[in-house]
Chains A and B, each alone.
Chain A
Amino acid sequence: MLKTCRKDYLAVRWFWLGSAVLYLLYVIQPLASSLLLMAFGMMLVLADLMIPLFIEDKDKTEILFASLPTSRKDIVRGRHLMAGFLLAGGVLLIFGSAAGIKKIFSAPSYQKSLSPLLTVEGVAGFLIAAGLLTASYLPLYHRLGLGRGNMVFFMGGLALLGAAAGLERLASKTLNLIPPLFTADFLKDPGQGLIGRIGAARTEMGTPLFVAATAALLAALFWISARLSTRFYRRREF
Chain B
Amino acid sequence: MEYALEINKLSKDYGDFRLRGVTFALPKGHIMGLIGPNGAGKTTIIKLILNLIRRDGGEIRIFGGDNLAREVEIKSRIGFVHDTPYFFEHLTLTTIARTVAPYYPGWDERLFARLLDEFDLPPKKRFVKLSRGMKMKFALAVALSHKADLLILDEPTSGLDPVFRRDLLGRLSAFIQDEGKAVLFSTHITSDLERIADFITFIREGEVVFSAPKDEILGAWAVVKGGPELLAPDLRPIFKAVRKREFVVQALAADAAETRRRLGGSAVIEKATLEDIMFYLSKGNGHA
Binding site for B on A (CB under 8 A): 3, 6-7, 10-11, 55, 58-61, 63-64, 66-71, 235, 237-238
User: A234: nearest residue on chain B (CB-CB)?
Assistant: B54
Contact present for B103 and A68 (CB under 8 Å): yes
Bitwise interface map of B from 82 to 107 toward A, beta carbon under 8 Å scored 1, else 0: 10101111110001001110111000
Contact present for B82 and A59 (CB under 8 Å): no
Contact present for A238 and B47 (CB under 8 Å): yes
The residue that B91 contacts in the complex, of A11, A60, A69, with Cβ under 8 A, is A11
The residue that B99 contacts in the complex, of A7, A60, A63, A237, with Cβ under 8 A, is A7
The smallest C-beta distance from A160 to any residue of chain B, in angstroms, reads: 33
Q: Which residues of A contact B173 (CB under 8 A)?
A: none
Contact present for B103 and A10 (CB under 8 Å): no
Contact present for A66 and B52 (CB under 8 Å): yes
Contact present for A63 and B76 (CB under 8 Å): no
Known contacts being A67-B50, A70-B103, A237-B53, is A10 close to B82, with CB within 8 Å? Answer: no
Contact present for A63 and B82 (CB under 8 Å): yes
Q: Which residues of B contact A3 (CB under 8 A)?
A: 102-103
User: A63: nearest residue on chain B (CB-CB)?
Assistant: B86
Bitwise interface map of B from 163 to 201 toward A, beta carbon under 8 Å scored 1, else 0: 000000000000000000000000000000000000000
The smallest C-beta distance from A10 to any residue of chain B, in angstroms, reads: 5
* Alpha-carbon distance A109/B74, docked complex (angstroms): 61
Known contacts being A69-B75, A237-B52, is A61 close to B86, with CB within 8 Å? Answer: yes
Known contacts being A69-B104, A71-B71, A237-B53, is A59 close to B87, with CB within 8 Å? Answer: yes
Q: Which residues of A contact B104 (CB under 8 A)?
A: 68-69
Binding site for A on B (CB under 8 A): 47, 50-54, 71-76, 78, 80, 82, 84, 86-91, 95, 98-100, 102-104
Counting chain A CB atoms within 10 Å of each CB, which of B89, B99, B102 scores highest? Answer: B99
Q: Which residues of A contact B95 (CB under 8 A)?
A: 10
The smallest C-beta distance from A62 to any residue of chain B, in angstroms, reads: 8
* Alpha-carbon distance A235/B89, docked complex (angstroms): 27
Q: Which residues of A contact B53 (CB under 8 A)?
A: 237-238
Q: Given A10-B95, A66-B50, list of 17 further CB < 8 A pairs?
A: A7-B99, A7-B100, A7-B102, A55-B90, A61-B86, A61-B88, A64-B100, A66-B51, A69-B71, A69-B74, A69-B75, A69-B76, A69-B104, A70-B103, A71-B71, A235-B54, A237-B52
Q: Which 8 A-B pairs have the closest CB atoms?
A: A7-B99, A69-B75, A69-B76, A68-B103, A237-B53, A238-B52, A60-B86, A3-B102
The smallest C-beta distance from A5 to any residue of chain B, in angstroms, reads: 10
* Alpha-carbon distance A7/B99, docked complex (angstroms): 5
The residue that A69 contacts in the complex, of B84, B89, B103, with Cβ under 8 A, is B103
User: B68: nearest residue on chain A (CB-CB)?
Assistant: A71
User: A56: nearest residue on chain B (CB-CB)?
Assistant: B88
Contact present for B72 and A10 (CB under 8 Å): no
* Alpha-carbon distance A55/B95, docked complex (angstroms): 15
Counting chain B CB atoms within 10 Å of each CB, which of A63, A64, A66 scores highest? Answer: A64
Q: Which residues of A contact B86 (CB under 8 A)?
A: 59-61, 63-64
* Alpha-carbon distance A71/B74, docked complex (angstroms): 11
Contact present for A6 and B99 (CB under 8 Å): yes
User: A74: nearest residue on chain B (CB-CB)?
Assistant: B72
Contact present for B75 and A68 (CB under 8 Å): yes
* Alpha-carbon distance A66/B212, docked complex (angstroms): 31
* Alpha-carbon distance A58/B91, docked complex (angstroms): 13
* Alpha-carbon distance A63/B47, docked complex (angstroms): 9
Counting chain B CB atoms within 10 Å of each CB, which of A64, A67, A71 scores highest? Answer: A67
Contact present for B88 and A55 (CB under 8 Å): yes
User: A60: nearest residue on chain B (CB-CB)?
Assistant: B86
Q: Which residues of A contact B74 (CB under 8 A)?
A: 69
* Alpha-carbon distance A3/B103, docked complex (angstroms): 7
The smallest C-beta distance from B103 to any residue of chain A, in angstroms, reads: 4
* Alpha-carbon distance A27/B86, docked complex (angstroms): 38
